[in-house]
């Protein structure tokens, strides 16, 4: 089938599916977080941990709960890795080294799922299930909870509380992620994804050699890996592995799963603030960026320079013939625009300009539609900036959804958009500025010296600080420097923005509602959607233009 026709059919099917689930899933999530009724199992859990389900929290109390829960998660995942040798179903693997255990614990608790190791030959089943898979659920639930807290900040009037983190976490896990993951896992198993505890099976190859084939509980982890925009694969090849992603059906299903919750959350936002048009405006901005990014990446890869790519119908290096160029670019755009980090092709093998697009997707802040929860609150922060800029242009105090945006709100929003660029650029610069570190990076980590090597390091810090987790696949990151530096980038890239988002939510919730006037900027019309897209590109992507000019742009123009 012609690549262009295949791309059109895939995107068309994807759009139809997302349109079909947007309203019911979005409304269902709104009911989850607005309901005053608790399930019996939830009430039992609240009694167990000593939580009053009707007790509301201020933004500072909500934040303390987020940080305390995440700290416990880091310690538990770290301890499981260090104790792996004595755990059941360890498959004979030794304890994971301290540096890698630290990096991995931070990675999964922050919903990044960066993997500086080969999972199928490093992690036993107990660590995979009790450590990594559990964090896939709860880290995603934390992201959604923070987004819901910000939505409540816009929706509430003269209130000092944002809800209860423990209730939001529990409901997001038990009512949303767990039932969906169980259903999806069954579908994946039917589609050919493996699910067992068989360990390694020795087989004789066609050439007469012997090979050990790993098994494992893959479908159960794959389901929440995609639904929670986590991305940590069971196998080193991630979704390029036939046990993890065996057919074109499972490939399209995984793309749908990555987008399902993030593209439905704007509907939840509109329902909870009482104006669904606002949700459609946010959704339109997300969709516009997604379509432009996907189109650019597909064109770059289908029109790869050189005789071989043109004869092959596109740049096929690093892409499986099962999926081809168009399906690979759809998957790559989706995973880097949703902070998932899963891959079904190697981004390191993309053309120079094609490899730049996943970088830009992450540099935008992954807001189109972004990770579960983080994409929505990231886009709402950009909406605050857009309204502020519009207010300056017309000479009036900016307001959004009936809330005034004063100096405190704008400072918090401005700090939010500065966090990840600071982490990315500082981490990349330090990797080359400190002589001892530079020697290790260039001698041990970089496989492709020159401009491409710089892109690999830049990609690693961009992926970590934006909590994406995908790798450029040409960098050895299991070193003391990268384990530490990327761990810090993931930690700060996740929790400093959460601090700022919750502080902004608390400030908004305490305000009175301002009635709309003739001078109020309509934030549900196409003009605002265009302004929001422009602000997203100018404020986010152009911050990185100088370093992009030194790496993928320079390589592509050679």
132 in Cβ contact with 360 (< 8 Å)? no
Predicted structure pTM score: 0.95
Partners of 475 in beta bridges: 446
Which of the 8 DSSP states describes residue 55? -
Is residue 217 in some structural domain?
yes
> Domain range for residue 186?
3-202+213-269
| Top-confidence range, 232-246, 379-393, 495-509 | 495-509
* Per-residue pLDDT at 513 exceeds 60: yes
127-156: burial string, b at 16+ Cβ within 10 Å, e else: bbbebbbbbbbbbbbbbbbbbbbbbbbbbb
Count of domains for the chain: 1
Backbone φ, ψ for residue 349 (5° rounding): -95, 0
In tens, the pLDDT along 130-169 reads: 999 999 999 999 999 999 999 999 999 999 999 999 999 9
* Per-residue pLDDT at 311 exceeds 60: no
In tens, the pLDDT along 35-88 reads: 999 999 999 999 999 999 999 999 999 999 999 999 999 999 999 999 999 999
Q: What is the rounded distance in angstroms from the CA atom of residue 545 to the CA atom of residue 517?
A: 39
In tens, the pLDDT along 250-301 reads: 999 999 999 999 999 999 999 999 999 999 999 999 999 999 999 999 888 8
Q: What DSSP string runs through 120-169? A: GGT--HHIIIIIIIHHHHHHHHHHHHHHHHHHHHHH-SS-S----HHHHH
375-392: burial string, b at 16+ Cβ within 10 Å, e else: bbbbbbbbbbbbbbebbe
**pLDDT, greater one: 471 or 528:** 528
pLDDT of the residue at 4? 62
Is residue 299 in some structural domain?
no
Is residue 247 in some structural domain?
yes
Report which of 490, 381, 491, 500 is spatially closest to residue 63, judged by C-alpha positions.
500
* Per-residue pLDDT at 355 exceeds 80: yes
**pLDDT, greater one: 539 or 66:** 66
* Per-residue pLDDT at 523 exceeds 80: yes
pLDDT of the residue at 352? 84
Q: How confident is the model at residue 303 (pLDDT cuts 50, 70, 90)?
A: confident
Q: Is the peptide bond between 484 and the residue preceding it cis, with omega within 30 degrees of 0?
A: no
Is residue 294 in some structural domain?
no
Q: How confident is the model at residue 397 (pLDDT cuts 50, 70, 90)?
A: confident
Is residue 141 in some structural domain?
yes
Is residue 409 in some structural domain?
no
Is residue 175 in some structural domain?
yes
Report which of 145, 143, 289, 170 is spatially closest to residue 228, judged by C-alpha positions.
143
284 in Cβ contact with 22 (< 8 Å)? no
pLDDT of the residue at 3? 56
Q: How confident is the model at residue 541 (pLDDT cuts 50, 70, 90)?
A: confident
- The number of beta carbons lying within 10 Å of the beta carbon of residue 83 is 15
* Per-residue pLDDT at 1 exceeds 90: no
Average pLDDT over residues 511-535: 91
Report which of 73, 47, 239 is spatially closest to residue 141, judged by C-alpha positions.
73
Mean per-residue pLDDT over the chain, rounded:
91
H helices of 50-121, in order, are 59-82, 98-109
**pLDDT, greater one: 1 or 120:** 120
Cα torsion angle, 436, 438, 443, 446, sign = positive
Is residue 125 in some structural domain?
yes
């Amino acid at each position: 089938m012609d690549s262009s026709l295949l791309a059109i059919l895939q995107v068309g099917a994807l759009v139809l599916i997302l349109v079909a689930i947007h309203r019911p899933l979005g409304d269902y999530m709104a009911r989850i977080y607005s309901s005053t009724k608790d399930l019996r199992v939830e009430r039992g859990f609240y009694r167990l941990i000593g939580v009053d389900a009707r007790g509301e929290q201020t933004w500072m109390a909500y934040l303390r709960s987020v940080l305390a829960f995440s700290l416990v998660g880091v310690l538990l995942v770290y301890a499981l890795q260090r104790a792996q040798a004595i755990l059941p179903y360890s498959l004979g693997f030794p304890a994971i080294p301290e540096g890698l255990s630290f990096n991995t614990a931070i990675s999964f608790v922050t919903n990044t799922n960066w993997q500086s190791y080969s999972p199928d030959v490093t992690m036993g089943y107990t660590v995979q299930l009790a450590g990594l898979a559990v964090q896939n659920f709860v880290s995603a639930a934390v992201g959604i909870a923070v987004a819901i807290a910000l939505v409540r900040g816009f929706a509430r009037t003269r209130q000092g509380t944002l809800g209860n983190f423990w209730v939001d976490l529990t409901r997001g896990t038990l009512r949303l992620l767990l039932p969906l993951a169980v259903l999806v896992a069954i579908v994946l198993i039917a589609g050919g994804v493996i699910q067992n505890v068989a360990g390694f099976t020795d087989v004789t190859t066609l050439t007469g050699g012997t090979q050990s084939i790993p098994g494992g509980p893959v479908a159960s982890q794959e389901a929440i890996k995609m639904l929670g925009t986590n991305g940590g694969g069971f196998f080193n090849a991630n979704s390029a592995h036939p046990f993890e992603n065996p057919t074109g059906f499972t490939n399209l299903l995984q793309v749908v799963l990555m987008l399902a919750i993030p593209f439905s959350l704007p509907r939840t936002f509109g329902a909870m603030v009482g104006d669904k048009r606002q949700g459609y405006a946010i959704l339109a901005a997300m969709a516009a960026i997604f379509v432009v990014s996907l189109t650019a990446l597909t064109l770059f890869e289908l029109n790869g320079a050189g005789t071989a790519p043109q004869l092959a119908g596109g740049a096929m290096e690093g892409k499986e013939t099962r999926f081809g160029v168009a399906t690979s670019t759809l998957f790559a755009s989706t995973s880097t625009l949703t902070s998932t980090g899963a891959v079904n092709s190697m981004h390191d093998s993309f053309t120079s300009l094609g490899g730049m697009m996943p970088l830009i997707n992450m540099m935008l802040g992954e807001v189109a539609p972004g990770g579960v929860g983080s994409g929505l609150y990231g886009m709402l922060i950009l909406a605050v900036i857009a309204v502020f800029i519009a207010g300056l242009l017309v000479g009036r105090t900016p307001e959004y959804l009936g809330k005034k945006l004063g100096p405190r709100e704008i400072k918090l929003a401005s700090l939010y958009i500065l966090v990840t660029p600071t982490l990315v650029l500082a981490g990349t610069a330090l990797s080359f500025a400190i002589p001892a570190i530079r020697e290790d990076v260039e001698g041990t980590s970089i496989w492709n010296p020159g401009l491409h090597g710089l892109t690999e390091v830049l990609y690693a810090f961009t992926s970590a600080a934006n909590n994406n987790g995908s790798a450029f696949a040409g960098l050895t990151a299991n070193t003391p420097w990268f384990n530490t530096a990327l761990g810090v980038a993931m930690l700060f890239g996740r929790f400093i923005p959460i601090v700022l988002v919750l502080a902004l939510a608390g400030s908004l919730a305490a305000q009175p509602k301002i009635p709309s006037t003739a001078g109020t900027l309509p934030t549900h019309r196409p003009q605002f959607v265009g302004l929001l897209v422009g602000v997203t590109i100018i404020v986010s992507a152009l911050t990185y233009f100088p370093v992009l000019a030194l790496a993928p742009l320079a390589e592509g123009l050679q």
